[in-house]
Structure 1
Amino acid sequence: MTGPGRRRVTSGDVAREAGVSRATVSYVLNETPHQKIPEATRRRVREAAARLGYAPSAAARSLRTGRSDIVLGLLPDWPIEHVMGRLVQQLTRAFAEHGLTFLVHSTGHPARPLGEVWKALTPVALLALGEFAEPEAGALRAAGIEVVMALHGSERGRRRAPLVSEEPIGVTQARHLVRSHGRLGYAYPDLPGLDALARPRLDGVRKVCVELGLPEPDVRVVSFEHDGALAAVRAWRAAGPPVTGVCAFNDDVALAVLVALRSLGLRAPQDLAVIGVDDTSAAALAQPPLTSVARDTEVVARGLVRRVVDSLDGKPAPSGPLRDPLRLRLRASA
């Protein structure tokens, strides 16, 4: 057992406790194949390790096997809220099913430089959940670390298509609203770091408008300050023709629009229909309850883990994005 003033338990301690050699402890705890060790001895070693609280050294295991079991997840400088937190949990569980440990590192300032982090951890792979440039990826690959880019990145100076596409989210929002609204608005977040998500979602809304011959969506930055959301709602109402349906970047931005509507004595969807993204718990509690596009993050997490595991196994990566099922949670706001 380790703790303040206590040394780390070693395999030698387990060997003495179980009355066997250190080699036997290693064979048993690492489940080394083709070793003729009686089951009673195996049980005695496992019980001794549990009694002493022995945890094998990750560094020693890396030296023995020739590779780490750590996958480093690179988080972008985004708010770590409901959906991102759930995705990280699901990635952690899915990697564990493959015997891999998922650790995350945020790029938010003043984070420790990524180069220092991966050199200290020596991960077997890096999963970039935000934008990631090819020069950085090249340095990791040169060190024998697999790199999988989930969102936008660059390869040899060219933009690379994301594994998880955001455009279908905007398409889903717009196709729902255009059934009864001829002019759409887009509530854009006021956090620049979210552009990698917001731009393609807006592109999806624009795509639907072009296909149906509708006006370009009226894009307004919506801050969480009360006056900012009020200004956006007033501008949409004063536009010619007026905006009657708004696709919001996510549920938080949509809720800010709903609050502004109430402050102006207006109602959703009668005066302005609003649709969000993420289907957070607050969406169902809003007044009125918020219609939202929900993503199946469990499917996304397992797809990302499969890409990483296949890369480690030397399998060719399939072309195209991951399967990313979306569902529309219909409520009273749109």
Structure 2
Amino acid sequence: MREVSETVSANTQKRVTSQDVAREAGVARSTVSYVLNRTPHQTIPDSTRKRVLQAAERLGYTPSSAARTLRRGRSDVVLCILRAWPFGSAAGTLLAELTASFSERGLSLVTHIEGAGMKTPDKVWQEISPAAVLTYHPVPRDTERAMRSAGVQSVVVLFSAENETAGNLIRPDGRIGRMQAEHVIAAGHQRIGYAYPEPPALQDFAGPRLQGVKTVCSEAGLLPPDVCTVPLDAQSASNAIKHWQSLPQPVTAVCAYNDEVAQALIAGARLSRVDIPGELAIIGADDIPTAALATPPLTTIRIDHISEARRIVDTVTATLAGKEPPASWDTAELFTAVIRESA
């Protein structure tokens, strides 16, 4: 019976408060608040500061997120609303970098994926009261007004269209397509194909990349790229390659939506006994880890996800601080062509 009582007592132990820390350290509660919140312009001796931190550690004190929200007038949460994309290596890398970068600024990133059976985004932001909301598609005006009325201080739209819209942070994905086309045209290719991804949800990114390829072809006086949707299987990719080779002016270089689609094309080329890059050059995008391991190694456009994450975080934190967000993307910093053997 004693063992059961001790277990119940341990499980029902009350949360350690800042008052407990103050009592343990022998200081005022306000001093604990100043030390643990790193409040500036306070003349607290280092010995007192150390005593408070040691007391908090001994007691296992963790600040109440609700109390912080009341004190600051906002939460420490950034809500990122994502569509139900097929998440690959590139998306995972960006989310990891965003999480780390926000954490460095004292903010926690929470992701929510839209889809059947999921809570609606409205339900989510109302329940967690975030300081900021990131979304990959435009927010209706009435929804944004409701967010701001509820205390959301920053609403940033991260979608890949090239058009400038106030309040949006636009990643210039069209530049990826431009760089792909510029590379293969500089290598002497005059008929370009484009391998479009199968999932419709990826059109936010694939559309601008394709448009970048179209623009460069037009500027070079070439035919528009011949577009084929390429699922991630070798037979479908082989069929696309056969189509490109059957054209009156056969395609000799393909710009793929990303490295996964490009690697499907490499597999399809093996089925079709098409030499890469001798008969067909292929260039991808993202520079995922397996790109260098492909046979032949894949030429691609690398995206600097660390710079991308910092740019997003800088935009959000500037808005939260009431400052002007940084200037537009520096594409020279964000994208780099990685030349290997496939193109």
* TM-score, scaled relative to structure 1: 0.90
- Are residue 235 (structure 1) and residue 243 (structure 2) matched? yes
Q: How do residues 205-216 of structure 1 correspond to structure 2 at under 5 angstroms?
A: 205-216=213-224
AA matched with 1:327:
T
Unpaired runs of 5+ residues, structure 1, are none
Structure 1 residue aligned with 2:335: 326
Does the 8 Å CA contact 2:283/2:298 hold for their aligned counterparts? yes
The two structures, once aligned, show a CA RMSD in angstroms of: 2.3
Unaligned runs of 5+ in 2: 1-9
AA aligned to 2:139 is A
* Partner of residue 132, structure 1: 138
- Which residue in 2 is equivalent to 1:271? 279
The residue aligned with 2:109 is: 102
Secondary structure of the 2:78 match is strand
Normalised by the length of structure 2, the TM-score is 0.88
Secondary structure (helix, strand or coil) at the match of 1:306 reads helix
Partners of 2:314 and 2:325 within 8 A in 1 = no
Secondary structure of the 1:151 match is coil
What is the alpha-carbon distance in structure 1 between the residues aligned to residue 179 and residue 197 of structure 2? 18
Cα deviation for residue 97 of structure 1 reads 3.1
- Selected match of 1:173 from 165, 170, 180: 180
Select which of 307, 314, 317 maps to 1:309: 317
Q: Secondary structure at the match of 2:284?
A: strand
Higher mean alpha-carbon deviation, 207-216 vs 321-330, is at 321-330
Structure 1 residue 299 and structure 2 residue 336: aligned? Answer: no
Tell me whether 1:246 sits opposite 2:251 in the alignment.
no
Aligned amino acid, residue 263 of structure 1: L
Decide whether the 8 Å contact of 1:299 with 1:323 is kept in 2.
no
Between the two proteins, the alignment pairs up a number of residues equal to 327
In structure 1, give the amino acid aligned to 2:97.
Answer: Q
Alpha-carbon displacement from aligned partner over 1:187-221 (angstroms, at most 9, x marks no partner): 00000000000001000000011111111111000
**Whole-Å separation in 2 of the counterparts to 1:318 and 1:273:** 38
Counterpart of 2:291 (choices 264, 283, 289) is: 283
Task: Give the fraction of aligned pairs with identical amino acids, expressed as a percent.
Answer: 44
User: Are 1:65 and 2:80 an aligned pair?
Assistant: no
Shift of residue 108, structure 1, vs aligned partner: 3.8
Are residues 1:225 and 2:225 paired?
A: no
Stretch moving more, 291-300 or 190-199: 291-300
Name the CA distance, whole Å, in 2 between partners of 1:246 and 1:304. 31
Deviations 1:222-265 (A, max 9, x none): 01233311211110111111111000000000000000000111
Q: Deviations over 1:20-69 (max 9, x none)?
A: 44333223322345555443333222111111221100110111122222
Q: Against the structure 1 CA distance between its residues 36 and 224, is the aligned structure 2 distance closer, same or farther, given a 3 Å change threshold? A: closer
1:83 to 57, 72, 90: 90
> What is the SS of the residue equivalent to 2:228?
strand
Deviations for 1:103-134, whole angstroms, at most 9, x for unmatched residues? 22222433221112111211111122x11333
